[in-house]
Amino acid sequence: MARDRSDESYARPVRRLLLTVVMLCLIALVLLWRIDNPRVERMRAAIVDRVVPNMEWVMAPVAGAARMLGDFQSYTRLYEQNDRLREELQQLRAWREAALQLEQENARLLDLNRVHLNPELTFVTGIVMADSGSPFRRSVLINVGGRDGILNGWATMDGLGLVGRISGVGEQMSRVLLVTDSNSRVPVTVQPSGQLALLMGDNSPTPVLDFLEAPEDISAGDRIVTSGDGGLFPPGLLLGQVVMTTDGRIRARLSADLNRISFLRVMRSHPGTTLDDPGGLIGPPWPLPQSGDEPAPPATSEAIDGATLLEATE
């Protein structure tokens, strides 16, 4: 017993010292995360990569059981569902007819215009492995990653609409930041009026539509698609429909069903054009004209426009 006490007498300062060192390390980690975010996020991706696939054998049965329970609950509403589905099927048949006709017309028009649709927009499909586990953050982890060629920033869709974008890629896993997350900003176009806006997530199921030029031209039910501004998303991906809330804000009801996402498509998009050469786009043409007060000849400006267009199409 006496030996224990003597152990204690020097164990305590050592313990305190260790504790202080650990706390200082933690503070350093937080500061590092704040200062050099990408590096620590890569570290996080590596840790997720290591840990989450091992958790799968715990998670798979429980998640499966919960899904089965949900499905079982839906059995009770089977009859009404069946009726409703029949009605919808009837309506959809009509739509299908219309779509087929439009598709043929569209193909004819595209042929006339000699338009080449972007062949690079293929997709990789992944399974949702885990979510972020808190209502403060909206993101999911999917089981495709760096080894499948996934890159940061790629758009992610379910069958119908945009779900989010890749933010954080590990070797086997990657993280999808959902459009409902409060960090998510997506440049969009509101369809019939063609107005540009930003879709800003706020952790609620319906993100806010902001920076609209003329909000009075927007009505409920308008389609929202990505505009492709900033080169982050390919243009024209469906996001959802406009809804007006009672507090007068314009929000979006997403087409993607975020409650039951299990498969996600990561759209393989080509890198957007970057502005690494400001001199060619903005400012006076180079080389500068000899006499400063003389305006630039129109031929030069046209040449520059052509050059930027070329850059943009490449």
Partner 1 sequence: MSAATRRLWTYRMLFILLCLTVISLKLMPMNVGETGIPGPDILLALTLAWLLRQPAVVPVGAILLVFLLADFLLQRPPGLWTLLVLLASESLRSRRLTMTEFPFLLEWSAFAAAVFALLILNRIAMWVLMVDQATLGLTLTHGIVTIAIYPLVVAVSKFLLGLRKLGAAEPEAI
Residue 33 or residue 123: which is nearer to partner 1 going by CB? Answer: 33
Strands 263-268 and 155-157: antiparallel
Cα(11)–Cα(9) distance, rounded to whole angstroms? 6
Residue type for 187, please?
A: P
> CA separation (Å) from 72 to 45, 76, 77, 172, 211?
36, 7, 10, 33, 44
Taking contact as CB under 8 A, which single stretch among the options 97-105, 209-217, 256-264, 275-283 is the one that binds partner 1? 256-264
Which residue in the set 257, 277, 302, 305 belongs to the binding site for partner 1 (CB under 8 A)?
A: 257
Residue 25 or residue 94: which is nearer to partner 1 going by CB? Answer: 25
Q: How far is the CB of 302 from partner 1 (least distance, A)?
A: 45
Residue 144 sits in the site that holds partner 1 (CB under 8 A): no
Taking contact as CB under 8 A, which single stretch among the options 60-68, 71-79, 104-112, 276-284 is the one that binds partner 1? 60-68
Residue type for 179, please?
A: V
| CA triple 142-148-153, angle to 5 deg | 65
Which residue in the set 143, 152, 193, 203 belongs to the binding site for partner 1 (CB under 8 A)?
A: 203
| Chain CA centroid to CA 84, Å | 32
Residue 232 sits in the site that holds partner 1 (CB under 8 A): no
Residue 139 sits in the site that holds partner 1 (CB under 8 A): yes
Which residue in the set 198, 208, 258, 304 belongs to the binding site for partner 1 (CB under 8 A)?
A: 258
Residue 39 or residue 147: which is nearer to partner 1 going by CB? Answer: 39
Total residues interacting with partner 1, rule: CB under 8 A:
53
Residue 14 sits in the site that holds partner 1 (CB under 8 A): no
x/- mask, partner 1, residues 37-56, rule CB under 8 A, reads: ---x--xx--xx--xx--x-
> How many CB atoms are closer than 10 A to CB 225?
19
Beta strands (DSSP E) in 90-237 are 122-131, 139-142, 155-157, 162-169, 174-178, 185-190, 195-200, 208-210, 223-226
Residue 152 or residue 191: which is nearer to partner 1 going by CB? Answer: 152
Cα(191)–Cα(185) distance, rounded to whole angstroms? 18
| CA triple 110-114-120, angle to 5 deg | 85
Q: How far is the CB of 66 from partner 1 (least distance, A)?
A: 5
Cβ atoms 188, 239 nearer than 8 A: yes
Residue 210 sits in the site that holds partner 1 (CB under 8 A): no
Residue 203 or residue 308: which is nearer to partner 1 going by CB? Answer: 203
Q: How far is the CB of 133 from partner 1 (least distance, A)?
A: 4
Residue 23 or residue 107: which is nearer to partner 1 going by CB? Answer: 23
Q: How far is the CB of 84 from partner 1 (least distance, A)?
A: 21
Q: Is 140 exposed, middle or buried (0-12, 13-18, 19+ CB in 10 A)?
A: buried
